[in-house]
């Protein structure tokens, strides 16, 4: 028996040593690969902060973030100031030091930050077989996105886009205006009732949460039709999953998949909202899987973003009552009964300008990120396969060289003649990712 225990301990020790050795070799080889990518970029004149062994620039990112947190301005000042230097201070710090194009690493991954308009223009013209979604970051979103269009690349992405795109043609979208009005009217009645209970005086209203409910209701009606009540239940579970995921950021490049795999609540909600790991296009029920996954993708892309943008819009209008007055006058002229329809929406020019300016100052997405799927020439840069490109949208949207000296100010009138006349280059406006 004693001999057996000694043998067992020996085998265990050997197994542990082998596992540690394997992990060391894996991380070392991955580090070498990352440094090769960095060298290829550096040989083309692209520089960046020097990385540390295995961790890359993550330690420096944390130091810069901690310093920024200690010197953070009052939260009320975020309305009038460029907030990117507070939320993403390391990217802002490196941009000032290394310019509009630089390279940095998070752990074992090499990144290329791009803020040059001409390079961005060329990137937008590349096909999806060259640039795609970064599987490392989107992997953490699999419980909520499945294998839908947001996570897919290449031919799978093209196939899904071909099927989904017609549903967002203008004639189809116009048909959904009624659903949107249907979902919004109860909210307005709720707000009126809250004010009435205060005798017509000011009432405290949780606008942000109410907008989340309305956007979820619209998506549920659009995706699930007459079964939208059941759809709202599914969306509620998906929102819980989303909250669990987004609590653990992955900008630093650290793997959070262990958190998700060990979280029983996420796993349970995943099953209840019909999330599974089956591949699209394979096996029984693939059509249902395709529909479920892409309904989830529509929810993820449209729920929180719509609610947050609407909240920012109301806040900005509250700070600029003159634009409230202009909108009221326009709605009274274009919508005699006070309710918009498919025909009147295109005539609400002032509303359009206010929304465009809101999305400029507070875009729904912070980044445009693309994985380089094969060696790709962008402008005069040969970007090697395996690099991930990043563009910080708020930085572009508040750049005085693109928008003028009043870039941090709320001035919807800049869009009176469209985006092309509002800035020096339309590439500098990315309201949607």
What are the CA-CA distances from residue 11 to residues 2, 25, 109, 371 (Å)? 14, 21, 34, 42
Flag whether pLDDT at 20 surpasses 80.
no
**398 φ/ψ angles, rounded to the nearest 5 degrees:** -120, 20
- As a whole number, mean pLDDT of residues 182-202 equals 89
How is residue 126 annotated by DSSP?
Answer: S
- What pLDDT is stored for residue 254 in this prediction? 46
C-alpha count within 13 angstroms, C-beta hemisphere, residue 300? 25
Structure tokens at 169: 């043609």
| pLDDT value for 172 | 86
Q: What is the pLDDT of residue 14?
A: 55
For 386, the enclosing helix (H) or strand (E) is none
Round to whole Å and give the CA distance between 246 and 15: 36
Residue 422 pLDDT: 95
Binning pLDDT at 50, 70 and 90, where does residue 357 land? very high
The tens digit of pLDDT for each residue in 96-110 reads: 999 999 999 998 899
CA distance 114 to 378: 11
253's torsion region: left (phi>0), alpha (psi -120 to 50) or beta?
left
CA 121, 124, 129, 131 torsion-angle sign: positive
Q: Of the ranges 23-37, 53-67, 267-281, 388-402, which one carries the lowest mean pLDDT score?
A: 267-281
Note the pLDDT tens digit of each residue in 252-281: 544 444 444 445 555 665 665 554 444 435
Tens-digit pLDDT profile for residues 96-152: 999 999 999 998 899 999 999 999 988 888 766 788 887 766 777 777 777 888 888
* The two structure tokens encoding residue 264: 């029983």
From CA 150, how far away is CA 296, in angstroms rounded? Answer: 10
Q: Max alpha carbon distance in the chain (Å)?
A: 93
> In sequence order, which residues have a C-beta less than 8 Å from that of residue 241 and are 6 or more positions away?
143, 144, 266, 269, 270, 273, 275
Task: Mention every residue, 6+ apart, whose C-beta is less than 8 A from residue 426.
Answer: 419, 420
- Write down the CATH number for the domain with range 137-316: 1.10.630.10
- Give CA separation, 313 vs 127, 130, 266, 271, 307, in Å: 34, 36, 33, 36, 10
Residues paired with residue 367 on neighbouring β-strands, in sequence order: 392
pLDDT of res. 248:
56
pLDDT of residue 256: 45
Distance CA 75, CA 410 (A): 17
Mean pLDDT value across residues 382-395: 93
Q: Is the pLDDT at 83 greater than 90, yes or no?
A: no
298-324: average pLDDT: 90
Count CB atoms within 10 A of the CB of residue 134: 20
pLDDT value, residue 249: 53
For 140, residues 6+ apart whose C-beta sits below 8 A from its C-beta are 245, 248, 250, 256, 257, 260
Written as six digits, the tokens of 325 are: 């007055």
pLDDT range class, residue 283, cuts 50, 70, 90: very low
Q: What is the DSSP string of 175-238?
A: TTHHHHHHHHHHHHHHHHHHHHTTTTS-----HHHHHHHHHHHHHHHHHHGGGHHHHHHHHHHH
Provide the mean pLDDT of the chain. Answer: 81
Residue 174, pLDDT score: 86
Which has more pLDDT, 225 or 335? 335
**Amino acid 60: pLDDT:** 95
Residue 278: per-residue pLDDT = 41
Q: Is the pLDDT of residue 192 over 70?
A: yes
Q: Answer whether residue 251 shows pLDDT above 60.
A: no
Kindly report the pTM of this predicted structure: 0.83
Is 80's pLDDT higher than 80? no
Tokens of 270: 């995943």
Output the pLDDT for position 161.
86
Closest CA to 122 of 131, 111, 112: 131
Question: In 222-380, where do the E strands start and end?
Answer: 367-372, 376-378
Domain extent listing, the chain: 31-130+366-433, 137-316
Span 337-357, mean pLDDT? 92
Mean pLDDT of 28-54: 88
CATH fold label, 31-130+366-433: 3.30.43
Q: In sequence order, what DSSP letters do the residues of 330-349 get, joined into one string? A: HHHHH-TTS---TTTGGG-H
The one-character DSSP state at 140 is: T
């Amino acid at each position: 028996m004693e001999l057996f225990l000694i043998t067992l301990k020996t085998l265990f020790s050997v197994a542990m040593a082998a596992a540690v050795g394997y992990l060391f070799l894996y991380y070392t080889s991955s580090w070498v690969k990352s440094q090769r990518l960095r060298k290829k970029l550096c040989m083309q004149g692209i520089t960046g902060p020097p990385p540390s062994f295995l961790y890359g620039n993550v330690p420096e990112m944390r130091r810069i973030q901690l310093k920024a947190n200690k010197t953070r301005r009052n939260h009320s000042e975020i309305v009038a100031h460029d907030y990117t230097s507070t939320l993403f201070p390391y990217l802002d710090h490196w941009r000032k030091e290394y310019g509009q194009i630089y390279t940095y690493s998070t752990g074992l991954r090499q990144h290329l930050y791009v803020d040059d308009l001409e390079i961005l223009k060329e990137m937008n013209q590349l096909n999806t077989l060259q640039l795609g979604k970064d599987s490392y970051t989107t992997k953490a979103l699999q419980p909520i996105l499945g294998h839908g269009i947001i996570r897919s690349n290449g031919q799978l992405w093209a196939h899904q886009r071909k099927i989904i795109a017609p549903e967002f043609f203008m004639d189809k979208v116009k048909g959904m205006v009624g659903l949107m009005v249907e979902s919004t009217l109860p909210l307005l009645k709720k707000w009126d009732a809250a004010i009435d209970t205060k005798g017509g005086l000011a009432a405290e209203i949780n606008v942000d949460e109410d907008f989340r409910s309305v956007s979820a209701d619209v998506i549920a009606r659009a995706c699930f039709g007459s079964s939208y009540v059941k759809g709202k239940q599914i969306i509620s579970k998906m929102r819980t999953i989303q909250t669990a995921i987004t609590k653990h950021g992955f900008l630093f490049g650290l793997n959070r998949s262990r958190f998700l795999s060990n979280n029983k609540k996420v796993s349970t909600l995943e099953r209840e909202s019909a999330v599974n790991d089956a591949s699209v296009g394979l096996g029984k029920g693939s059509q249902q899987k395709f529909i479920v996954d892409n309904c989830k993708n529509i929810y993820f892309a449209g729920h929180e973003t719509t609610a947050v943008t609407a909240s920012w819009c109301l806040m900005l209008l509250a700070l600029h009552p003159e634009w409230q007055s202009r909108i009221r006058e326009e709605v009274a002229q274009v919508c005699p009964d006070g309710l918009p329809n498919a025909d009147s929406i295109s005539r609400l020019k002032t509303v359009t300008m206010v929304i465009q300016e809101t999305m400029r100052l507070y875009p729904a997405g912070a980044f445009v990120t693309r994985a380089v799927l094969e060696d790709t020439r962008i402008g005069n840069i040969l970007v090697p396969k395996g690099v991930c490109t990043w563009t910080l949208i708020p930085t572009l949207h508040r750049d005085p060289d693109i928008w003028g000296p009043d870039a941090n100010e709320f001035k919807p009138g800049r869009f009176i003649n469209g985006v092309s006349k509002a800035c020096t280059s339309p590439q500098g406006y990315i309201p949607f990712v």
